[in-house]
Amino acid sequence: MTVTTTDWETVIGLEVHAELRTETKLFCCCRNSFGEEPNVNVCPVCLGLPGSLPVLNRVAVEYAMRIGTALHCRVQSSIFHRKNYFYPDMPKDYQISQYDIPINAEGWLDLPGGRRVQIERAHMEEDTGKSTHVGGGGRIHEATYSLVDYNRAGVPLVEIVSAPDMRSAEEARAYVDELRSILVATGASDGKMEEGSLRVDANVSVRAKGDGQFGTRCEIKNMNSLRSLGRAIEYEAERQVALITDGGSVAQETRHWDESAGRTGTMRSKEEAYDYRYFPEPDLVPVEPSDEWIASVAASLPRLPAQRRSEIAAASGMGVESESVVTVVRLGLDGYVDAVIASGAGERGTAIAVRRLANEVAAEIGSAAHLTEPAFCRLIAMESDGSLTTAQARTVLRELLDNGGEPDAIAARLGFEAMEAGDLEAVVDQVISAHPDEWSRYVAGEAKLAGFFMNHIKAATEGKADMKAASALLRSRSA
Amino acid sequence: MTGVSDTPGPLASAHAIAAGVRAGTFRAREVLEEHLARVEALEEDVHAFNLVLADSARMAADAVDADVAAGHDLGPLAGVPVALKDNLCTRGVPTTCSSLILGSWKPPYDATVVQRLASAGAVVVGKTNLDEFAMGSSTENSAFGATRNPHDLTRVPGGSSGGSAAAVAAAFAAVALGSDTGGSIRQPASLCGVVGAKPTYGLVSRYGLIAFASSLDQIGPLARSVRDAALLLDSISGPDPADSTCLQDDPPSASARLEGGVEGLRVGLVRELAGAEGISPDVVACTRDAAEALSGLGAKVDEVSLPAAVYGLSAYYIIAPAEASSNLARYDGVRYGMRAANHGTDAADITEMYLRTRSAGFGAEVKRRIMLGTYALSAGYYDAYYGQAQRVRTLIIRDFEAAYETFDVLLAPTAPGTAFELGAKTADPLTMYLNDVCTIPSNLAGHPAISVPFGVGDDGLPVGVQVLAPALGETVMFQVAAALEAAAPPVALPSILSAGRTG
Amino acid sequence: MSAMAARISTGDVAHVARLARLELTPDELERFTEQLGAVLEHARDVEALDTEGVPPTAHPLPLVNVLRDDVVRPSLDRAEVLAAAPAVEANRFRVPRILGDAP
Ligand SMILES: [Mg+2]
Ligand SMILES: [Zn+2]
């Protein structure tokens, strides 16, 4: 019997840890910042010194509430627990985290593709310090000793736990992408995966298609990018399917993604699972946000990605699921679209703007800072009214991205004045008379020859012609 | 202890010292030297201190005197020699919890109460001995040796604040701070013949108190009079933004009605505690005498029942170890304190380092409680132990609330007996734990209680009686305690002081 | 309360000691098992209590929402912090090798 992965379904649930963009840590007044000299942002509280006590950061709570609200969660009264385990990057040898009564419960997130992923909870907890492993190529298991920096210890995190609602690596990536956009939009997190602001663990199981039961799952850790998330899930699903089809079974365990080897390996079996001995944190009191506070947080939220997509889709006449619309919102380029709409561009101009943003601007997202909204609006207006051809508009846009500037001036410098209507007519007539055979066939109904004539017109005008106007002329000459 | 003196001398009260120093009648330095001379003469026998801070105390006393000379405003504890339990963090000064595991650790910060003492003008004479991490009732569980009772050097001072109680009884300091998790201020106060109070949970900031059981720990005063205890408590209580569990409103005054008497007050004698198993008859007799004395002063005294109180001991010996097992996890040899095998062979891996360090650094009682608490919280046992203990806590609070509908304060014994011989209870932990049966309910409820000397046992040693009050009931609690103190039979001076070995 | 029925065994104590990162000699294991058994035995009196419907009290205070402003205050001096540590290298805390990943 041959069983292929196409007969199987992958079931994925994700746990995403997002660092909050507060000024200070969750329980002390040390600075929350990335990339500093080791052990400079430490105090009695975040070092876990004897006698120190935690005091909760109001802004961290508010950011957590923003995230919960954006994910359609129930924002509720909550308490903190202690999660006990010994580990050198954990100064108190317990983590203060929320357990059975989290601040946000039971929400959902719609993927751009339409699938709804249920959110089980989004709770607050503190981050750990960071270890550097010395010897053995920096890998933990081969190292001779380790060095610990506690700058990150106590940085506020929100852990967002999804239901096992995703069915492919692609969906898992889309989920993280969408979640990241939401986190950035709420202002609660910078969403930088490369700096560890966003960290993802995946629970992966497989089952035969049509099976109502979930299979045994493995938890995969240490995926540092969307790419490794996708690779790890695909590898793990194939591993589990191979195990089962070979007559074996999947053991519930925690697995580690090895990026360079491209595979997952056992980290800890279920038998070795930690016994965290959770109990209510006696050094903190409950967090009970009032209805007014919850309402004011909800009112302060900006428009979120899903809403942005439908607004832009409506204004541009493009579909909500259009790749360009999704990309523009995901990359946070939607502000340019707003500016274009406000400048009076209609549906067509807005659609042009979305395409330029999703293609040229997205490709050089790093230099988007050079591109001012007024310059972009002017560029779109010039392309819309035919003063610039598509090819010219792209050239001007690249110049704007590289060096900034003013579109009219750039177009003039590049010699992109629009052709006079009479000049274009002359060129069109010239091309027709130069190709009499093709022209007779075109007039007789061979429509595909339009492209032939357009190419010649384009070449003859060195790309300066408004191709729509040229096409209209061609049709009127043949009538 | 009655008969405090108004001149500097062995029994000078904190009030008298502060008043005299402020008025320029005598100097803080003179008061200090007089106390240090007694420490010099008697500390070897008593071993109240882990560390005597003679030099820094002299500097502090001189600074107070300079302020007096300069006409500056001085705090309520100006020039008062104070002893600190060695689980209170003092910046740059070793803080050991009487444990090896802290090594020579010097905290980089002061506890909130230490800051408040300094701004009140107090002079810290030293850090006092305790049962390791405040776990014990005899101060025998100290890595640095036991403290002895100044009334009888063959006996324990009680614990865990035994060093602070002994320091006050021996007049090494006018007053002292202790911490009380299950009776650790009141029980040694009772055994040493001094006053000791555990305030309402949250009245005094815990910031800088090295945690034993966070939901039960409170810092409180030990003194030779109710009035001095009130003065010290009023100097340290009040809101602290560094402690989330500290009450945020102005604290009740402990000193406000010390002269108020007890006329018309309703006093409930707790039936279950006065007659609890293991309470010796002489202690029961002293407690009943105290009730009668209050009745004679015009209080309405009646018996009251707290049916759940007797379950407090069981609940406490689940909750306190559970919290302790977590609070003491941080002593792992990574960031501060001792690391086993630091010289010679390094541990092969981090787990071996943890095991070696913690096994060598903690004493037997601490290990017992860590294991007990770890067990009570571990998978499969949480509901049966920790969960059930937390429900017992609710029942005890309900009992108290019902009692306070009828009574203003309650009366109960403090300790089951007088000071016992060194070593008498060390073999059997459970016997030692039974010392706390009368003091634990107040910790579980978060309510205040004070122990006041009232009479002596059959052996002639001091007996304390507790006044219990509802949350934030410090004013009436100290009011009744002051009346009780005034009505108490005189107590002999500790033998080491009466033996005339010091001036 | 069935979990409390069986008396704590040396196996239980060894497991708990491991969880708590304590190393016990065989003698200690015997003695601690005996002593913990006696304390837990005493704790059985709470079984007699009917706690049906009684909510647990985790904390004696009715306080809620104790929050602080998100304002930076000075951290500790690094040299002082590191001076307290048993082993330091490159301004970090040095520890023996770590055998397992973080949970
Ligand atoms: Mg977590
Ligand atoms: Zn800090």
**What is the per-residue DSSP string for B249-276?**
SPPPPSSTTTT---TT-EEEEEHHHHT-
Cβ neighbours of C15 in B, within 8 Å: 378
CB-CB contact of B442 with B451 (8 Å)? no
Which residues of C, range 24-43, sit inside 8 Å of B by Cβ?
A: 24, 28, 32, 35-36, 38-40, 42-43
B242–chain C Cβ distance below 8 A for any pair: no
What is the arithmetic mean of pLDDT over B107-114? 98
Q: Tokens standing for A473?
A: 């002329």
Q: In chain A, helix, strand, coil percent, each to 5?
A: 40, 20, 40
**Which ligand lies nearest to the CA atom of residue C74 in the structure?**
2
Asked whether residue C58 is assigned to any structural domain, the reply reads no
CB-CB contact of A190 with A198 (8 Å)? no
Which residues of A, range 75-94, sit inside 8 Å of B by Cβ?
A: 82, 84, 86, 88, 91-94
Distance of CA C1 to the CA centre of its chain: 23
**Which ligand lies nearest to the CA atom of residue A27 in the structure?**
2
Facing C51 at nearest CB: one of B333, B364, B391 = B391
Q: Is B455 exposed, middle or buried (0-12, 13-18, 19+ CB in 10 A)?
A: buried
pLDDT band at residue B499 using 50, 70 and 90 as cut-offs: low
**Which ligand lies nearest to the CA atom of residue C75 in the structure?**
2
Q: Chains touching chain C at 3 or more Cβ pairs under 8 angstroms?
A: A, B
Name residue B198's beta-bridge partners.
B449
Task: Say which DSSP state A416 is in.
Answer: -
Facing A145 at nearest CB: one of C69, C73, C95 = C95
CB contact under 8 A, B371 and C21: no
Name residue B223's beta-bridge partners.
B175, B195
> C79-91, pLDDT tens digit by residue?
999 999 999 999 9
| Most A-contacting residue of B326, B331, B366 (CB-CB within 10 A), to test interface | B326
Q: How far is the CA of A41 from the centre of ligand 2 (A)?
A: 6
Give the total number of structural domains in chain C: 1
Cβ neighbours of A279 in B, within 8 Å: 322-323, 326, 377, 382, 386
Query: How distant, in Å, are the alpha carbons of A55, A183, A290, B285, C69 from that of A297?
Result: 21, 14, 11, 62, 17
> Does the pLDDT at position C9 exceed 60?
yes
CB contact under 8 A, A29 and C93: no
Q: Tokens standing for A208?
A: 């035969």
* Nearest chain C residue to A32, by CA: C72
CB contact under 8 A, C70 and A23: yes
Q: How far is the CA of A95 from the centre of ligand 1 (A)?
A: 9
Q: How far is A80 from chain C (nearest CA, A)?
A: 11
Q: Dihedral sign for Cα B349, B355, B358, B361, please.
A: negative
Rounded-to-integer distance, Cα B221 and Cα C66, Å: 27
CB-CB contact of B247 with B203 (8 Å)? yes
> B430-460, pLDDT tens digit by residue?
888 888 999 999 999 999 999 999 999 999 9
Q: Is B212 helix (H, G, I), strand (E, B) or coil?
A: coil
Asked whether residue C39 is assigned to any structural domain, the reply reads yes
Asked whether residue C41 is assigned to any structural domain, the reply reads yes
- Residue ranges of chain A with pLDDT lower than 70? 1-5, 269-273, 417-421
Chain position carrying tokens 């993927």:
A111
Q: Is C51 exposed, middle or buried (0-12, 13-18, 19+ CB in 10 A)?
A: middle
∠ CA A101-A107-A110, nearest 5°, is 155
B335–chain A Cβ distance below 8 A for any pair: yes
**What contacts B180, CB < 8 A, 6 or more positions away?**
B161, B186, B196, B198, B217, B218, B219, B220, B439, B443
pLDDT number for residue A418:
62
Look at A5-19, B59-73, B94-108 and tell me which has the smallest mean pLDDT.
A5-19
CB contact under 8 A, B248 and C66: yes
CB contact under 8 A, B214 and A282: yes
CB contact under 8 A, C20 and B395: no
pLDDT number for residue A332:
86
Facing C60 at nearest CB: one of B201, B368, B375 = B201
Name residue C67's beta-bridge partners.
A56
Q: Which strand (E) or helix (H) includes residue C38?
A: helix C26-42
C69–chain B Cβ distance below 8 A for any pair: no
Q: Is A4 exposed, middle or buried (0-12, 13-18, 19+ CB in 10 A)?
A: exposed
Q: How far is the CA of A53 from the centre of ligand 2 (A)?
A: 10
**Which ligand lies nearest to the CA atom of residue A28 in the structure?**
2
C89–chain B Cβ distance below 8 A for any pair: no
> Does the pLDDT at position B257 exceed 50?
yes
CB contact under 8 A, C36 and B335: no
> Does the pLDDT at position B2 exceed 60?
no
pLDDT band at residue B502 using 50, 70 and 90 as cut-offs: very low
Report the CATH number that the domain containing residue C19 is assigned in CATH. 1.10.20.60
pLDDT band at residue B8 using 50, 70 and 90 as cut-offs: low
Asked whether residue C101 is assigned to any structural domain, the reply reads no
CB contact under 8 A, B378 and A54: no
Q: Is A76 exposed, middle or buried (0-12, 13-18, 19+ CB in 10 A)?
A: middle
CB contact under 8 A, B381 and C46: no
> B273-293, pLDDT tens digit by residue?
887 778 999 999 999 999 999
- Residues of B with catalytic function: 85, 160, 184
Name residue A219's beta-bridge partners.
A203, A254
> C43-66, pLDDT tens digit by residue?
888 876 788 899 998 888 889 999
- AA letter at B210: I
C22–chain B Cβ distance below 8 A for any pair: yes
Comparison of pLDDT for B147 and A466, the residue scoring more: B147
May I ask the CATH class of domain B14-313+390-499? Answer: alpha beta
Rounded-to-integer distance, Cα A45 and Cα A24, Å: 12
* B84-B86-B91-B93 Cα dihedral, nearest 10 degrees: 110
What is the arithmetic mean of pLDDT over B333-344? 82
Q: Tokens standing for A477?
A: 């000459």
pLDDT number for residue C51:
87
Report the predicted TM-score, pTM, of the whole model to 2 decimal places: 0.90
Q: How far is C19 from chain B (nearest CA, A)?
A: 7
Chain position carrying tokens 């209680």:
B449
Rounded-to-integer distance, Cα B181 and Cα B322, Å: 13
Q: How far is the CA of A99 from the centre of ligand 1 (A)?
A: 9
Asked whether residue C91 is assigned to any structural domain, the reply reads no
CB contact under 8 A, A86 and C21: yes
Percent of chain B exceeding pLDDT 90 equals 88
**Residue-averaged pLDDT of chain B:** 94
Count of A-C CB contacts under 8 Å: 139
**Which ligand lies nearest to the CA atom of residue A150 in the structure?**
2
Q: How far is the CA of B433 from the centre of ligand 2 (A)?
A: 37
A48–chain B Cβ distance below 8 A for any pair: yes
Comparison of pLDDT for A28 and B347, the residue scoring more: A28
> Does the pLDDT at position C2 exceed 70?
no
Look at A13-17, A165-169, B494-498, C34-38 and tell me which has the smallest mean pLDDT.
B494-498
C101–chain A Cβ distance below 8 A for any pair: yes
pLDDT number for residue B3:
35
Asked whether residue C24 is assigned to any structural domain, the reply reads yes
CB contact under 8 A, C103 and A85: yes
Q: Tokens standing for A395?
A: 């050239």
Name residue B235's beta-bridge partners.
none
